[in-house]
Amino acid sequence: MFTLKIQTELKPQEKFDILIIGGGITGIAIAREAAERGHFVGLIEKNDFHCATSAATSKLIHGGLRYLENFEFPLVRESLKERRILMLSASHLVRPMPFIIPILPWTKPNPFLIEAGLKIYDLLSFDRNEFLPEESYIPNTRKISQQELLNVLPELKHITKNGGFMYYDCQSIYPERLAFSFLKSAAEKGAKFFNHIEIEDFITEKKDHTITITGIQVKDKITGKSTTFKAKVIINATGPWIDYVISKVLNQKVQKIQRSKGIHLLTKPILNQKIAVLFRTKTHRHFFVIPWKNFSLIGPTDTPFQDHPDNLKPTKEDVEQLINDFNETIPGNLLNKKMILDVPIGIRPLISLKENTYKASRKYEIFDHRKENNISNFLSVAGGKWTTSRKLGEDVIQYVYMLFPELKNQSKKTDTSQLPLYGSPGYSNPYSVYENFALKEFRIQEISHEQHKYLISFYGTEHIEILKLIKENPKLAEPISNSFPKWDLYAQVLFAIEYEGARTLEDIVKRRIGYGTYGKPDKETLQKIAKFASKYLNWNQTRIKEEVNSTLNSYTDLF
């Protein structure tokens, strides 16, 4: 087994080729690109990996159909290419999903333009099935009749007359695990990842009007220990916090991005549980209703956010607006507050500084502070989206090579677009073939067939390590929650702590296992998990209580 051990003991004066600030998917993808090329990479994150914007998604890997309205053809083409690469690289986590766009009386643009846009979408994804196994093929867009529409969405019978359109994108089933697949691919090549590490200060020196960051003073928020990291190149990939990091380096206020707040509603199942639906509201906003496991995900919203990212919380107005959009669009008042299980929220860091964030581009940009601020070894990266994160990482490293030819000379030739991500059944290999093989060859009597299938879908090839833990201690096969007996097991909690750098209860339940993503957890269950974890993390009774309360408080409580 490849053992991923997140570095929690800070070493003094450790020096990296590239040091990345920010542990969202952008920072992790950059780390993977650099590590695959043989560089010594470090990444620091002030909270936990994949804990903010990267976690608050629609759970989609998509081409960005909506961006065609802004004529962003290059961005859509890039997204569609990267969608295919992720399907090839991580077939256990990225799979095709059908989408329906119903034609409603207030539909804009008109159906003719929608159909034209979908045809362009098909054209821009002309190579979408290249090297993909047949089970992952993306079909062409097609018009569906009124009867076909009502067969799957009878709830729309009073507002539709002309059917709709069906197209395909992909679902990122467990975005947290996909982020860890990127992270582990980098760690396998020697990258070091540090969570719960905050920056205390930047150490700089000035020579001939040029500033060089010679070190970053950091502090472990859990242990209180401090040290200094050094690096040839420092990359700021902090997403919504990018301005604040730049301001800390320059000792002056800087604005590079516009922040857009987006919420989703995680609800009990609503509408069809096999097909996602893209709706336009009467006020011409859009929202998805996406089936996910035994739940529905509704959203996103898109509104400007002016406050500090650390203060982000959904408001009652945010939730009520999305409920109203849903019920004003779909007859029957199908959605009410009692159906809502959680309100995931994040901030999109947008390059545009205009007030209208809804129409702002999702393209990314690299800020070279050598040009802007005379800082010789500091870059910032902003914008982008989950789907194009691999390409963003590749572009950032190529930019680094332009500025630091010595790093390029030391690098290994590699193309991550043709490499499987960690845990994948293999680049372009069919997931179903691996699943059938694993269910037969690795079956153990301690868990059910359904539990085994879940572990395979969650960890891919790495699920074998969970099975080994259970064989060593069959008590670890106990389900975490009686509400979800076929899903998470205590073996996964142990794995999260021992091998995946989980240092808090929230790390465990929200980003290492699935339990914390199904809505606000039960306090008694959290207490049991915390008590189990305490044996490995040396928590006393006071700390256990703090961890449980902190985790519960991380969920939205609007009702």
Q: What is the CATH number of the domain that holds 251?
A: 3.50.50.60
How many domains are there within the chain?
4
Which of 240, 233, 237 lies closest to 29 in space, CA to CA? 237
- 279 and 397, same domain (yes or no): no
Which of 55, 41, 47 lies closest to 193 in space, CA to CA? 41
pLDDT at 257: 84
CB of 389 within 8 A of CB of 356? no
Helix, coil or strand: residue 195: strand
- 194 and 212, same domain (yes or no): yes
Establish if 58 belongs to a structural domain. no
Establish if 9 belongs to a structural domain. no
Residue whose token pair is 């919380």: 313
pLDDT at 109: 77
- 406 and 486, same domain (yes or no): no
Q: Which amino acid is present at 279? A: F
Establish if 66 belongs to a structural domain. no
The whole-angstrom separation of Cα 244 and Cα 253 is 8
Per the structure block, which two tokens stand in for 259?
């922040």
Residue ending a domain, among 169, 185, 213, is: 169
Per the structure block, which two tokens stand in for 125?
């994804």
- 403 and 509, same domain (yes or no): no
CB of 40 within 8 A of CB of 20? no
pLDDT at 302: 87
- 469 and 500, same domain (yes or no): yes
Strand 258-263 and strand 303-304: the pairing is antiparallel
CB of 110 within 8 A of CB of 101? no
Backbone angles phi, psi at 220, to 5 degrees: -75, 115
Q: How many CA atoms lie within 13 A of 16 on its CB side?
A: 28
Residue whose token pair is 């606000």: 520
Helix, coil or strand: residue 204: strand
- 246 and 283, same domain (yes or no): no
The whole-angstrom separation of Cα 506 and Cα 537 is 13
The whole-angstrom separation of Cα 357 and Cα 302 is 7
- 369 and 220, same domain (yes or no): yes
Which of 385, 312, 298, 296 lies closest to 346 in space, CA to CA? 312
The whole-angstrom separation of Cα 134 and Cα 124 is 20
Output the domain CATH number for residue 344.
Answer: 3.30.9.10
Beta bridge partners of residue 364, listed in sequence order: 383
The whole-angstrom separation of Cα 325 and Cα 314 is 16
Per the structure block, which two tokens stand in for 217?
């003073």
Output the domain CATH number for residue 457.
Answer: 1.10.8
Beta bridge partners of residue 15, listed in sequence order: 230
pLDDT at 54: 86
Helix, coil or strand: residue 133: coil
- 456 and 494, same domain (yes or no): yes
Residue whose token pair is 């290994």: 412
Establish if 65 belongs to a structural domain. no
Note the pLDDT tens digit of each residue in 454-485: 999 999 999 999 999 999 999 999 999 989 98
Establish if 7 belongs to a structural domain. no
The whole-angstrom separation of Cα 27 and Cα 20 is 6
pLDDT at 8: 63
- 107 and 224, same domain (yes or no): no
pLDDT at 350: 82
The whole-angstrom separation of Cα 136 and Cα 240 is 34
- 162 and 267, same domain (yes or no): no
- 100 and 47, same domain (yes or no): no
Which residues of the chain are modeled with pLDDT < 70?
A: 1-8, 352-362, 558-559
pLDDT at 2: 47
Strand 276-280 and strand 94-102: the pairing is parallel
Establish if 194 belongs to a structural domain. yes
Task: Fill in the DSSP letter of residue 366.
Answer: E
pLDDT at 10: 78
Q: Find the helix or strand (DSSP H, E) in which 367 lies.
A: strand 364-368
- 337 and 484, same domain (yes or no): no
Helices H / strands E in the chain, number of each: 17, 20
The whole-angstrom separation of Cα 80 and Cα 132 is 14
pLDDT at 360: 38
The whole-angstrom separation of Cα 369 and Cα 191 is 24
Residue ending a domain, among 350, 371, 386, is: 350
Residue ending a domain, among 294, 319, 350, is: 350
pLDDT at 559: 57
Residue whose token pair is 């030391």: 410
pLDDT at 4: 61
The whole-angstrom separation of Cα 20 and Cα 299 is 31
pLDDT at 358: 36
Q: Give residue 191's domain range.
A: 14-53+177-257+362-418
pLDDT at 136: 96
Q: What is the DSSP string of 254-267?
A: ----EEEEEE-EEE
Residue-wise burial string across 251-280, b where 16 or more C-beta atoms lie within 10 A, e elsewhere: eeebebbbbbbbbbbbbeebbbeebbbbbb
Strands (E), 208-317: 210-220, 226-236, 258-263, 265-267, 276-280, 286-292, 295-299, 303-304
CB of 347 within 8 A of CB of 244? no
Establish if 116 belongs to a structural domain. yes
Beta bridge partners of residue 347, listed in sequence order: 261
Establish if 300 belongs to a structural domain. yes
